[in-house]
Amino acid sequence: MSDQLHFFFFPMMAHGHMIPTLDMAKLVASRGVKATIITTPLNESVFSKAIQRNKNLGIEIDIRLIKFQTVEHGLPEECERLDLIPSDDLLLNFFKATAMMQEPLEQLIQESRPNCLVSDIFFPWTTDTAAKFNIPRLAIHGTSFFALCVGESIRHHKPFKNVSSDSETFVLPNLPHQIKLTRSQLSPFDRIEEEKNIPLMVKAVRESGLKGNGVIFNSFYELEQDYVELYTKVLGRKAWAIGPVSLCNRDIEDKTERGKKSSIDKHDCMKWLDSKKSSSVVYICFGSIANFTILQMRELAMGIEASGQEFIWVVRTAKEEENNEDWLPIGFEERTKEKGLIIRGWAPQVLILDHESVGAFVTHCGWNSTLEGISAGVSMVAWPVFAEQFFNEKLVTEVLRTGVGVGSVKWQKTYSEGVKKEAIAKAIKRVMVGEEAEGFRSRAKAYKEMARKAVEIEGSSYSNLTTLLEDISTFSSISD
Ligand code: UDP
């Protein structure tokens, strides 16, 4: 075996998983490790341009494709990514199709003999695959230490059993801060009382992060140190925090082309932002999967307008309502044309957030967006929708205190109720104007500095990546 380490990266096919995994591959490759990304043919384009740009800089990342059995599993032909699943009924079919990737993945491992398999927790079977070849399997959850500790507290103590309604709050036991949630903010699986009623696939995914050789986190120690300690020392899990990984994108091209081609020309976008005052613009975006109904979109539009703030709003409506512009209140664009920019489709998010004119981020609290906002030093309005986003909201509003919640109270795949325009306007104003806003912003700026230091040479994340590479080297030399 050659002395150069070789890592296989195998992310779930969803932008929120593939984008940070590509950044991880870049980080590892820039330390002289060979990095290979495994994905399906339709998703090659998520990586190919960035891979080419890195190649020009002398950073080699390889990509290998595995056919994804869509039609064989009753899925539409092009359904190779989570956001392309036409209805929730087909989620299980999608997961079954992912399990069919085991054999081709093993063939690739057999051919290339990597030293390590970094794979998504949504591929629990990769633990067995790695064991077959006697290589470590490192898991990626795509979330924070905080969210995992909250999840653990809920599952272990089931505090939601002690409340009499879905809207009554309960305190999460055994956490360093007093964190409260309601039952309506939990995913349907987190609300299940009897262990035996939890679907096997959900159990397998939960255990997936525990069974391998450790977890790589896109986070940094200084951000959530109490929860890093809880996760590693009290719960006894092996973990390396190596983020924020998005900070490896230093030039304008890398910040613009993340995951998809941007729907706006980067120069037009920068020109618009350049014309605005420092910290005067609110950036509004809800990630790659969350959908809003027309009614909620209209309410949001009215809330943005009522806040009186300048804004960039990235718009995606529920699938069945695509191409329908009824969500815009009459005359909205005309009235706000000086103040606002609507991007229909995909925004160059990191480029926008990093611009000094942006002062706040209205976010669904997907972990990547949350961390990108933290890395840019902007205040936040938290509007969680589903997944573990309600947990990330608490990190921002209760632990870091860099933002406020908009008042989202219900976990729902398509957001249909019920945040009113008054609440939206109020939350935006709270993070943009006045003394309280100054407090949010100064704390946000402090975390931005910490984030940047963490990834610099000798910073905590930089050192953790060094340790990770040493750990894999040691494992490989022992098992040779
Ligand atoms: N993103 C982007 N432009 C968009 C929407 C999303 O670049 O218009 C990126 C964003 O920067 C982040 C990822 O897509 O890196 C979304 O991940 P996140 O965990 O925030 O949310 P998810 O899409 O998984 O719900």
Going by the DSSP 8-state scheme, the letter that residue 338 receives in this structure is T
Residue 210's Cβ-count burial label (10 Å; 0-12, 13-18, 19+) is middle
Whether residue 134 is found in the same domain as residue 202:
yes
Calculate mean pLDDT across residues 396-415: 94
Residue 81 beta carbon below 6 angstroms from any ligand 1 atom: no
Cα 16 to middle of ligand 1, angstroms:
5
Residue 417 pLDDT > 70: no
Residue 282 pLDDT > 90: yes
Whether residue 218 is found in the same domain as residue 282:
no
Calculate mean pLDDT across residues 383-410: 97
Whether residue 458 is found in the same domain as residue 443:
no
pTM beyond 0.90: the answer is yes
Longest dimension (CA), the chain: 69
Average pLDDT value for the chain: 94
Cα-only R_g, the chain: 22
What are the φ and ψ backbone dihedral angles of 33, each rounded to 5 degrees?
A: -95, 145
Residue 322 pLDDT > 70: no
Q: Is 120 a catalytic residue?
A: yes
Whether residue 285 is found in the same domain as residue 403:
yes
What are the φ and ψ backbone dihedral angles of 34, each rounded to 5 degrees?
A: -80, 130
Q: Is 17 a catalytic residue?
A: yes
Q: Identify the pLDDT of residue 327.
A: 82
Q: Within a domain: residue 325?
A: yes
Whether residue 76 is found in the same domain as residue 223:
yes
Whether residue 346 is found in the same domain as residue 460:
no
High-pLDDT (> 70) share of the chain, %: 98
Tell which one of 12, 13, 15, 389 to mutate to probe ligand 1, the residue whose CB is within 8 A of the most ligand atoms.
Answer: 15
Q: Within a domain: residue 172?
A: no
Give the contacts of 270 (CB within 8 A, at least 6 positions apart): 351, 355
Residue 151 beta carbon below 6 angstroms from any ligand 1 atom: no
Whether residue 305 is found in the same domain as residue 394:
yes
Q: Within a domain: residue 167?
A: no
Tell me how far apart the alpha carbons of residues 185 and 226 are, in angstroms, rounded to a whole number.
23
Domain span holding position 475: 6-146+196-247+454-479
Closest CA to 240 of 460, 9, 7, 74: 460
**Three-state DSSP class for residue 403:** strand
Cα 234 to middle of ligand 1, angstroms:
32
Q: Identify the pLDDT of residue 210.
A: 82
Tell me how far apart the alpha carbons of residues 198 and 210 are, in angstroms, rounded to a whole number.
17
Q: Within a domain: residue 407?
A: yes
Residue 244 beta carbon below 6 angstroms from any ligand 1 atom: no
Token representation of residue 339: 């103040």
Residue 319 pLDDT > 60: no
Residue 324 pLDDT > 80: no
Tell me how far apart the alpha carbons of residues 276 and 340 are, in angstroms, rounded to a whole number.
11
The dihedral region occupied by 217, where left means phi > 0, alpha psi between -120 and 50, and beta the remainder, is beta
Instruction: Kindly indicate the confidence band of residue 317, based on its pLDDT and cuts at 50, 70 and 90.
Output: low
Q: Identify the pLDDT of residue 323.
A: 64
High-pLDDT (> 90) share of the chain, %: 86
Query: What is the number of domains present in the chain?
Result: 2
Beta partners for 39?
65
Whether residue 301 is found in the same domain as residue 373:
yes
Residue 301 pLDDT > 80: yes
Q: Within a domain: residue 1?
A: no
Cα 259 to middle of ligand 1, angstroms:
8
Whether residue 443 is found in the same domain as residue 460:
no
Q: Within a domain: residue 182?
A: no
Residue 368 beta carbon below 6 angstroms from any ligand 1 atom: yes
Give the closest residue (by CA) to ligand 1 atom 10: 369
Residue 1 pLDDT > 60: no
Whether residue 26 is found in the same domain as residue 45:
yes
Residue 136 beta carbon below 6 angstroms from any ligand 1 atom: no
What are the φ and ψ backbone dihedral angles of 64, each rounded to 5 degrees?
A: -125, 140
- Ligand 1 atom showing the smallest separation from residue 345 Cα: 8
Q: Within a domain: residue 173?
A: no
Residue 288 beta carbon below 6 angstroms from any ligand 1 atom: yes
CATH number of the domain enclosing 432: 3.40.50.2000
Tell me how far apart the alpha carbons of residues 179 and 391 are, in angstroms, rounded to a whole number.
9
Whether residue 459 is found in the same domain as residue 445:
no
Cα 352 to middle of ligand 1, angstroms:
13
Token representation of residue 91: 């989620």
Give the closest residue (by CA) to ligand 1 atom 15: 368
Whether residue 221 is found in the same domain as residue 351:
no
Q: Within a domain: residue 152?
A: no
Give the closest residue (by CA) to ligand 1 atom 5: 287
Tell me how far apart the alpha carbons of residues 330 and 142 are, in angstroms, rounded to a whole number.
39
